[in-house]
């Protein structure tokens, strides 16, 4: 019985060199696959090569994997193959600021987010009703200095129980331990305002207002043990001027945060983000 027409996303990362694209393309041709979309980048500084392709054809996933395996071994590739359009399971963590959570929930509701938010966890109860209104399980995980290891253990249990492939810290105002950061390496994404490290601590927008800042923005990055310094996935800014009060700056900043986080998790879920040392390559 002939295979049905299917679409897949293929990604590869390896040391740069000649023949990589030709070898991969030959496998696709062998299986009668058409390349619908392809992006690639060779980094002259790190010597790494990155490729993402979307292909379709009457081919089976197992057979395609079997043919790609020797090519990956030949070039010592880190690679992946996924059914195109497959939604990535996500656990979203939030505290008392809900703008990013609300944005993600709405985008998922209208089909504008390639995520399946399987659960929301929080150290507060503020958004329990909001989450429940979307028919998504809400988990209250209180965090104190004395129970933090147990709370992080509960978070990991949620990851396991929900099958979450990515953990989205949607303004989750808890510093993760080094051990938890290591266990979630490459699959936890955080968002914060772009005033760091200049304006740390409480009321950063008020500090920025006092200094006459003209740009406010947001940074989405992978979580690492180095607080707020993980590999950056996406950033954006909004221009402001002297007419903005600190409160107006907060509103503008939250809008940017929601948009930046949505783009970052979308690109991660679509397998467009590649680690590149302390940075990332995003093939869009």
| Positions marked active-site | 228
CA 240 to chain centroid: 28
* CB contact set of 160 (below 8 Å; sequence gap of 6+): none
Radius of gyration of the chain (CA): 21
The DSSP annotation for 25-43 comes to HHHHHHTT-EEEEEEEEE-
Contact by Cβ (8 Å): 95, 123: yes
Burial of 169 (0-12, 13-18, 19+ CB in 10 A): buried
Q: How far is CA 109 from the centre of its chain?
A: 19
Cα–Cα distance measured from residue 259 to residue 236, given in angstroms and rounded to the nearest whole number:
9
């Amino acid at each position: 019985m002939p295979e049905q027409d299917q679409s897949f996303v293929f990604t590869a990362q390896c040391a740069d060199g000649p023949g990589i694209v030709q070898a991969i393309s030959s496998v696709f041709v062998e299986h009668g696959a058409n390349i619908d979309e392809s992006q690639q980048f060779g980094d002259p500084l790190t010597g790494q090569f990155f490729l993402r392709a979307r292909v379709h054809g009457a081919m089976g996933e197992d057979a395609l994997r079997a043919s790609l395996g020797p090519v990956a071994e030949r070039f010592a590739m880190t690679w992946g193959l996924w059914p195109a359009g497959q939604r990535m399971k996500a656990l979203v963590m939030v505290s008392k600021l809900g703008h990013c959570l609300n944005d993600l929930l709405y985008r998922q509701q209208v089909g504008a987010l390639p995520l399946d938010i399987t659960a929301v966890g929080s150290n507060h109860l503020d958004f329990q009703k909001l989450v429940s209104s979307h028919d998504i399980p809400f988990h209250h995980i209180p965090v104190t200095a004395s129970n933090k290891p147990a709370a992080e253990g509960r978070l990991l249990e949620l990851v396991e129980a929900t099958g979450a492939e990515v953990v989205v810290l949607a303004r989750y105002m808890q510093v993760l331990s080094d051990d938890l950061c290591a266990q979630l390496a490459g699959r936890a994404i955080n968002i914060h305002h772009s005033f760091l490290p200049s304006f740390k601590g409480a009321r950063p927008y008020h500090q920025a207002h006092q200094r006459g800042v003209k740009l406010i923005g947001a940074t989405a990055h992978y979580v690492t043990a180095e607080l707020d310094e993980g590999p950056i996935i996406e950033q954006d800014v909004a221009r402001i001027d002297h007419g903005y009060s600190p409160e107006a700056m907060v509103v503008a900043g939250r809008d940017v945060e929601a948009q930046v986080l949505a783009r970052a998790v979308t690109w991660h879920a679509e397998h467009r983000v590649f680690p590149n040392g302390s940075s990332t390559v995003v093939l869009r």
